[in-house]
Amino acid sequence: GADEVRVLTDLAERFARSAGDLIRANRPDRVQVAATKSSEVDPVTAMDLASEAHLRELIARHRPDDGVLGEEDGWQPGTSGLTWVLDPIDGTVNYLYGVPAYAVSVGVVAGEPDPERWTVVAGCVHAVVDGTTYTAGRGLGAFRDGAPIAVNPARPLATSLVGTGFGYREERRRVQGRVLAALLPQVRDIRRIGSAALDLCRVAEGTLDAHYERGLNPWDLAAGEIIAREAGAQVTGLRGRAASTDMSVVAPPETAAVLAALLADLGADTDD
Ligand code: IPD
């Protein structure tokens, strides 16, 4: 019910803010890469690991029956049917370079922790550097620092500001570059902010008109999805599919339909 959604939303915010405090208190002048993942440009820092460990401790203490899926430490199933989906630092490359667009993303989903099948119940995206905090609970609306937010009225694509992002692997980037080259002349402009979670919050508050990306992971999407939905966005895939790790399109409904159709024509959900 609404009471449980409110409890989960408040906890998501508490956990995300607490991880934000940890990251702010400990960012060294020069961040080092601790390891790389899918390619040599896909970094993990000690702070990604510390932030996720901190979030997992908080969840174990307050919600011992829930599952946890995190970027750095995988899936630990629970017994309640709910899973916390965590990105301890979304925008790790920005964190590494000191570009201020990175965030802690904490979502709670019902059902399988897979974007094509889950229902996101609550979420919080906490921008670490300026502290801006976006929250949403299913049926309760979307908020920035406690004040309600809403998407822009739908605009034609030609005057829409569109956010996107790129994967870390070369083959994927070749397709993404080709799609971007075709799209760029048809939109107001493109933004590559470097944190998908913040991109989705930007659509929710109207500082972007739309976002699309191929290859997002569940933890990039969970909290941002409910924040965007509750602010009036449609969150969808291409060709009638739900949003998935293959492709997500997030925008006011009319814009989402036009953008999804164009991306389908461009084969944006295929690999070369
Ligand atoms: C990345 C960011 C980026 C997006 C990538 C993600 P990470 O997450 O959200 O904006 O384009 O696809 O992997 O690696 O910084 O947590």
Determine the average pLDDT of the residues in 106-113: 97
* Selected residue with higher pLDDT from 147 and 28: 147
The residue whose CB lies within 8 Å of the most ligand 1 atoms, and thus the one to mutate among 192, 195, 199, is 195
Residue 254 annotated as part of some ligand binding site: no
**pLDDT above 70: percentage of residues in the chain:** 100
Query: Would the annotation count 3 as a binding residue?
Result: no
Asked whether residue 272 carries a pLDDT value surpassing 80, the answer given is no
| Contact criterion met (CB below 8 Å) for 126 and 17 | yes
Q: What is the average pLDDT score of the chain?
A: 96
pLDDT tens-place string over residues 40-64: 888 888 999 999 999 999 999 999 9
Using CB atoms within 10 Å of the CB of residue 231, give its burial: 0 to 12 exposed, 13 to 18 middle, 19+ buried: buried
Q: Is any ligand 1 atom within 6 A of the Cβ of residue 43?
A: no
pLDDT at position 28 over 90: no
Which pLDDT belongs to residue 248?
98
Average pLDDT over residues 7-34: 93
Distance, CA of 268 to CA of 271 (rounded, Å): 8
Q: Could you give phi then psi for residue 37, rounded to 5 degrees?
A: -110, -100
pLDDT at 42: 83
pTM equals 0.97
Class for the domain spanning 2-148: alpha beta
Ligand 1 pocket check for 52: Cβ under 6 Å: no
Residues of the chain with CATH 3.30.540.10: 2-148
Higher pLDDT, residue 32 or 16: 16
The CATH label, of 3.90.1580.10, 3.40.190.80, 3.40.50.720, 3.40.390.10, for the domain at 157-265 is: 3.40.190.80
Distance CA 255, CA 142 (A): 20
52 is in an annotated binding site: no
Query: Is 183 near ligand 1, meaning CB less than 6 Å away?
Result: no
Cα 162 from Cα 183, distance rounded (Å): 10
Torsion angle of alpha carbons 218, 224, 228, 230, nearest 10°? 100
Tens digits of per-residue pLDDT, 202-238? 999 999 999 999 999 999 999 999 999 999 999 999 9
Segments of the chain assigned to CATH 3.40.190.80 = 157-265
